[in-house]
């Protein structure tokens, strides 16, 4: 069974900052069929705001960043969300990610902030770091 995931914004930022880490590897597997990723309009706006900030540390040209965002949207499964459970988590941005995962029937949220998503257990959603997620896919040892 193909895992269904939501990528937290910090994974996208880290993957665009450096081509050396697990986040970059996860991004490189988007659209490969190894997993399905779910997005919403609000989540894509959050992605865009985060990666376009000068303090994000991303040194790619805006045109490349826009191409990546376009691909993430095109390859992703779009999910409408209804903001039914807020607040569940301490950070409203994390609530957004959780709601996309819950409405999108996702198995996992991939994030570096695993502690921030403790409330996701009540929805049956696992929270994993990019490295842990890649190991579960058999994409790294």
Q: What is the DSSP letter of 56?
A: G
- Which pLDDT does position 113 carry in this prediction? 94
Of residues 54 and 91, the one with the higher pLDDT is 54
DSSP for 82-97 reads ---S-SSSSSHHHHHH
- Which pLDDT does position 141 carry in this prediction? 59
Domains of the chain by range and CATH?
4-137 (3.40.50.1010)
Q: What angle do CA 85, 90, 94 make, to 5 degrees?
A: 70
Residues 6+ apart with CB under 8 A from 36: 2, 3, 4, 5, 77
75-93 per-position pLDDT tens digit: 999 999 876 666 777 777 8
Distance CA 42, CA 52 (A): 16
- Which pLDDT does position 82 carry in this prediction? 76
Cβ atoms 5, 106 nearer than 8 A: yes
Cβ atoms 75, 37 nearer than 8 A: yes
Label the pairing between strands 108-110 and 77-78.
unpaired
26-46 per-position pLDDT tens digit: 999 999 999 999 999 999 999
What average pLDDT does range 111-122 have in this prediction? 91
pLDDT at 64 over 90: yes
């Amino acid at each position: 069974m193909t895992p269904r995931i939501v990528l937290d914004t910090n994974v996208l930022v880290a993957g665009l900052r450096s081509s050396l880490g697990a986040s970059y590897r996860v991004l490189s597997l988007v659209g490969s069929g190894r997993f399905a990723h779910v997005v919403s309009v609000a989540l894509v706006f959050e992605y865009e705001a985060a990666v376009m900030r000068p303090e994000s540390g991303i040194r790619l040209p805006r045109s490349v960043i826009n191409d990546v965002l376009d691909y993430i949207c095109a390859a992703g499964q779009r999910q409408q969300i209804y903001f039914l459970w807020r607040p569940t988590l301490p950070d409203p941005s994390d609530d957004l990610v959780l709601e996309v995962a819950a409405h999108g029937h996702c198995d996992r949220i991939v994030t570096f902030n695993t502690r921030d998503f403790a409330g996701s257990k009540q929805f049956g959603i696992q929270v994993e770091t990019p490295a842990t997620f890649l190991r579960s896919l058999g994409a790294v040892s």
